[in-house]
A and B are shown apart, each in its own frame.
Chain A
């Protein structure tokens, strides 16, 4: 019983991380078999860096994630401020309108996007992919920023105007610094959502433009190549590094606050 108590957390983490661990280990496996260990090798990484198609799709994934999350963060923050300043029915209507795309199954969103692109005669490729990603990231930014705005003391904005700030200046120097954590959280959420996406990307791209998930999907139909393990390991390590970076930032920020002089 006591053993179970102690190992409970350990078991959970084992289940969570075992698949990723296997993935990482097998990216160094010399045998092409998916089940047996055939010794250590860096061959797959070498092959990966010669596979232009796979590298291009990794590059696409990252570029789209960065551009889409930045654009979505800008638009979403402005939208959140707009919603925050609305009143009554209009406000709750807009909030529900924001939640709907989040709850909507990806496949519905994806097919609708595809139909819209065809209807508007927008050629499918990088641009359409980017537009789709910006659109589905937008609600995540709004729902991250809105709570921060609600926590604001409404008198703070008045106080800035009172001291001579124009409305624009009041937003930049008083409101923005206080909702920044929400904006940052929204950006990260948008970024991971974009990297994560397969279904919507699959239906909105074309002309040979593909991101990582699409490439892997088409490769996997021909059998899993250990190159895939290698590229996914790189992606995982990249995300891990990003997380450490963010944690360090958050920690230094909060310890500054505790000392009382931000």
Chain B
């Protein structure tokens, strides 16, 4: 398909003997919106800093358009970064912040003025040229940081949790705006977040990380529907995850009974994890259900109701547009297609 722009080959990183990145392999394509997703401390920033040239890997190769760039200093890489706390220059105004990279590449004043104006237009900040950095709101500073990076026309833009400091509403707006900017400029974005919803809505490809290892790489749909292991399933969505036992191909035992499923290839009697998404549990009359339970809580979530159904010693999370009152007896049906059997991982 698309043309490769960056590749990480067996990249490892240690800080004082502690392994922070454990042999990362990752291929990134031109114009792709890639998101590194994972909990705090899993090595997202470190990965980004290695690509940006602020940290060198302990071992492994970093390739840019097929060429090894491990030793190329950051100021020579065709990559720009939007830092976690923006890192704007406080002694310079908005115009000079954005012009910083252009002045280094020795453009004349007219070219600089034109490019800065274009960049400000891109982030909806025309007229802010003369403003000091400290007089801007968080969202405005964030846009200046984006403008300062994209004005240099990098081939790859690295963004380290750029939206983390914004409130929910502004965050949603900026998500859309960022996505538009990426499409308009046609450049590669490598985006870091620990917010799974943000990752799912914005990305072409999601890289789920944990403890310095890549857990799964895939399109949002695939990661959501086919999580590779329990960690990914748990991190990506609020699924119900149950311990189970594989009986034979297409049959699995959990919640005190056998179910039909679409999975195969596990050993008979193998201990497995079973993941079921809340929207895949259908509520029916008690006598029609595969399982019976009692509703213990109901929360309205805007579009659907989130209900907790207690059945034996298992609490099921159920999403439905129809509400069952607390205390009512219900039956539950789970179709074979909606049962995800996964290898048990030592966590």
- Pick out which of these stretches binds chain A: B19-27, B78-86, B186-194, B203-211: B78-86
Is A260 touching B101 in the complex (CB atoms < 8 A)? Answer: no
State the CA gap A178–B134 with chains docked (Å): 14
Q: Which of A158, A169, A257 contacts B87 (CB 8 A)?
A: A158
- Pick out which of these stretches binds chain A: B29-37, B88-96, B289-297, B335-343: B88-96
Total B residues in contact with A, Cβ cutoff 8 Å: 32
Is B87 touching A163 in the complex (CB atoms < 8 A)? Answer: no
Is B87 touching A161 in the complex (CB atoms < 8 A)? Answer: no
Is A260 touching B131 in the complex (CB atoms < 8 A)? Answer: yes
Q: Which of A161, A177, A261, A262 contacts B54 (CB 8 A)?
A: A161
What residues of chain B lie closer than 8 Å to A169, measured between beta carbons? Answer: 104
State the CA gap A156–B74 with chains docked (Å): 14
What residues of chain A lie closer than 8 Å to B74, measured between beta carbons? Answer: 158, 161-162
In the assembled complex, A41 has its CB within 8 A of some CB on chain B: no
Closest Cβ–Cβ distance, residue B165 to chain A (whole Å): 14
In the assembled complex, B52 has its CB within 8 A of some CB on chain A: yes
State the CA gap A156–B104 with chains docked (Å): 16
Is B132 touching A260 in the complex (CB atoms < 8 A)? Answer: yes
In the assembled complex, A52 has its CB within 8 A of some CB on chain B: no
Chain A positions 247-262 with a Cβ under 8 Å from a chain B Cβ: 257, 260-262
Is B54 touching A174 in the complex (CB atoms < 8 A)? Answer: no
Q: Which of B76, B89, B104, B135 contacts A159 (CB 8 A)?
A: B89
Closest Cβ–Cβ distance, residue B78 to chain A (whole Å): 10
In the assembled complex, A208 has its CB within 8 A of some CB on chain B: no
Is B152 touching A159 in the complex (CB atoms < 8 A)? Answer: no
State the CA gap A166–B54 with chains docked (Å): 13
Is A163 touching B131 in the complex (CB atoms < 8 A)? Answer: no
Proximity bits, A151-168, B CB within 8 Å = 1, else 0: 001011011111111110
Closest Cβ–Cβ distance, residue B315 to chain A (whole Å): 44
Is A261 touching B131 in the complex (CB atoms < 8 A)? Answer: yes
What residues of chain B lie closer than 8 Å to A161, measured between beta carbons? Answer: 53-54, 73-75
In the assembled complex, B319 has its CB within 8 A of some CB on chain A: no
Is B135 touching A163 in the complex (CB atoms < 8 A)? Answer: no
Is B75 touching A165 in the complex (CB atoms < 8 A)? Answer: yes
Chain A positions 134-188 with a Cβ under 8 Å from a chain B Cβ: 153, 155-156, 158-167, 169, 173-174, 177-178
State the CA gap A261–B104 with chains docked (Å): 22
In the assembled complex, B148 has its CB within 8 A of some CB on chain A: yes
Is A162 touching B80 in the complex (CB atoms < 8 A)? Answer: yes
Q: Which of B80, B83, B90, B132 contacts A155 (CB 8 A)?
A: B83
Is A163 touching B83 in the complex (CB atoms < 8 A)? Answer: no
In the assembled complex, B114 has its CB within 8 A of some CB on chain A: no
In the assembled complex, B266 has its CB within 8 A of some CB on chain A: no
What residues of chain A lie closer than 8 Å to B75, measured between beta carbons? Answer: 161-167
Chain B interfacial positions (CB closer than 8 Å to A)? 52-54, 73-76, 79-81, 83-85, 87-93, 100-101, 104-105, 130-132, 134-135, 148-149, 152
**Could you give 29 example pairs across A and B, Cβ below 8 Å?**
A153-B85, A153-B87, A155-B85, A155-B87, A156-B87, A158-B52, A158-B81, A158-B83, A159-B81, A159-B88, A159-B89, A160-B89, A161-B53, A161-B75, A162-B52, A162-B74, A162-B79, A163-B100, A163-B104, A163-B152, A164-B75, A164-B104, A164-B152, A165-B75, A257-B132, A260-B131, A260-B132, A260-B135, A262-B91
Chain A interfacial positions (CB closer than 8 Å to B)? 153, 155-156, 158-167, 169, 173-174, 177-178, 257, 260-262
